[in-house]
Every structure is written in structure tokens, then in C-alpha cells.
């Protein structure tokens, strides 16, 4: 890529090969970002990048594991080498612990350790690299979950991991404020992603959909619209917030 072709803005999207991450990557590319899609599956990240390129965007797929420090550093190295810098980081990769419910009394602590490694330690490592590398005026978006605010029995371990993400997000927003970098968390409600639908019967899905006044699940595209807005100049006055994007789920 020649200097003349270097994109004005560059976005790194973890978990960007499918679901909310991929929907966010597509919108960011449509807004003119060169998008670096990170997935633990190189084939999936490459396929996602090819789809964006076919739509006229600029993208590349990268293999990465957000729970591994060297892998996270290499992700940002790759983005900088390919496109000259990083302006937006969307950390959509997370442990799929939402489907594994347990009371606090009965929790298998191995589950807690898995959640910690990906949702807390992994988010912290991505946030750390973002804090070091995102150019002034950029944006960082993390992902929490509606279950934190709902305080639902059985979700203590997952909610605790996402509550840590919220705390990290709000503090990082204050630490990076002098560089005009915004940091926000998006907290989706029940959303019809492949991962969310997996293993749930029709009755369960109907019950979850009924929790929202509109009576349906959200879509990845609806969540992605909020992510893309936070990365745009129009969304730059929103900072240090946890945005509940849940259709009014109760």
C-alpha cells in the first residue's frame, strides 16, 4: 500500500469475524475505516475481511487470541504495519459464559477462571494496548452485558466479569481524556447472534424475547449501529458511559 492509499482512520475489531463484531466491522468499513478483523480462527477472519472488501471496503483478517499477551501485542503491530496506526478499537471478543448459569453456592470455580482470563484479563490487555497505541482523537469501545444491570440470579460469575469491564472502561475514559480519546462500553440485551442462539430451544428464546417491551430479540446490526456511532465524530461527546442497548429489556 502506497502512502497515497493509506486510510485516514483505522479500526481494530476483536471478535470481528461474526455476530456483533462482524456487523460492527462492516459498518466501520462503510464509514471509511480500514478494518483489522481479529479472530481465533484465521479462516473466519479472512472470510470476514473478504466480504468487506467485496462490498468496497478495506479490511484484513488476523489470527489472534485476546487471552494471550503476545498475541494481543502482535495484533496491534500488524495493524500499524499495514495501515500506519490505529484510531478505533472495538473489543467484541468475549467468553461465551452467558449460557452457563449457576448459583454462587454451586459455581465451579474453573468456570470463573475461564471468564476471568478472557473477559477481564483479555479486556485489560486489549485496553492496555489501545491506551498505548490509539492515536489522539480516537475511540475505544468495550462490551459489557445487560445482565449486569438486571442482577439476574444464576449469572453472578458472568455479571462479575462484565462488571469489571465496566469499571475498567470508565477509568480508562478518564485516563485518556487529555488525548481526546473516548472510551465507552456497550451493554447489549438478548441479541440474535449465532453464539447466543446456540443450545437454546424455542421456548427459552421466546421467554427471552418477551423480556423486551417490543417482544423480540435484538439484531447484531442494531448493536453495531451504536458501536459505529461512538466511533464517528457525531458520537465523540459521549464518553465514559455504559450504553444499554437492549430494547428496554426488563
Residues belonging to the active site: 158
Residue partners of 231: CB distance under 8 A and separation at least 6? 11, 28, 31, 33, 88, 90, 139, 141
- In angstroms, rounded to a whole number, what is the distance separating the alpha carbons of residues 159 and 120? 11
* Cβ contact 139:87 at 8 Å: yes
In contact, 228 and 24? CB cutoff 8 Å: yes
* CA 227 to each of CA 187, 203, 209, 239: distance values in angstroms, whole numbers, following the listed order: 11, 30, 22, 13
Nearest to 86 by CA among 48, 31, 140, 44: 140
Amino acid at each position: 500500500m502506497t502512502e497515497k492509499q493509506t486510510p485516514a482512520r483505522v479500526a481494530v475489531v476483536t471478535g470481528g469475524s461474526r455476530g456483533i463484531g462482524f456487523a460492527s466491522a462492516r459498518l466501520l468499513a462503510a464509514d471509511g475505516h480500514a478494518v483489522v478483523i481479529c479472530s481465533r480462527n484465521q479462516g473466519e477472519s479472512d472470510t470476514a475481511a473478504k466480504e468487506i472488501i467485496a462490498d468496497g471496503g478495506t479490511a484484513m483478517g488476523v489470527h489472534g487470541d485476546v487471552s494471550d499477551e503476545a498475541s494481543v501485542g502482535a495484533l496491534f503491530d500488524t495493524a500499524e504495519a499495514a495501515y500506519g496506526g490505529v484510531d478505533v478499537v472495538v473489543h467484541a471478543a468475549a467468553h461465551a459464559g452467558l449460557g452457563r448459569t449457576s448459583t454462587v453456592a454451586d459455581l465451579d470455580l474453573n468456570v470463573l477462571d475461564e471468564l476471568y482470563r478472557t473477559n477481564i484479563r483479555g479486556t485489560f490487555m486489549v485496553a492496555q494496548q489501545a491506551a498505548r497505541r490509539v492515536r489522539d482523537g480516537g475511540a475505544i469501545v468495550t462490551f459489557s452485558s445487560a445482565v449486569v444491570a438486571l442482577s439476574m440470579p444464576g449469572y453472578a460469575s458472568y455479571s462479575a466479569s462484565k462488571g469489571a469491564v465496566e469499571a475498567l472502561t470508565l477509568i480508562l475514559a478518564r485516563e485518556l481524556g487529555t488525548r481526546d480519546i473516548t472510551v465507552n462500553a456497550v451493554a447489549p440485551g438478548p441479541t440474535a447472534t449465532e453464539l447466543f442462539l446456540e443450545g437454546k430451544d424455542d421456548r427459552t428464546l421466546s421467554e427471552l424475547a418477551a423480556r423486551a417491551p417490543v417482544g423480540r430479540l435484538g439484531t447484531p446490526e442494531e448493536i453495531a449501529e451504536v458501536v459505529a456511532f461512538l466511533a464517528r465524530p457525531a458520537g465523540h461527546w459521549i464518553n465514559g458511559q455504559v450504553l444499554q442497548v437492549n430494547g428496554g429489556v426488563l
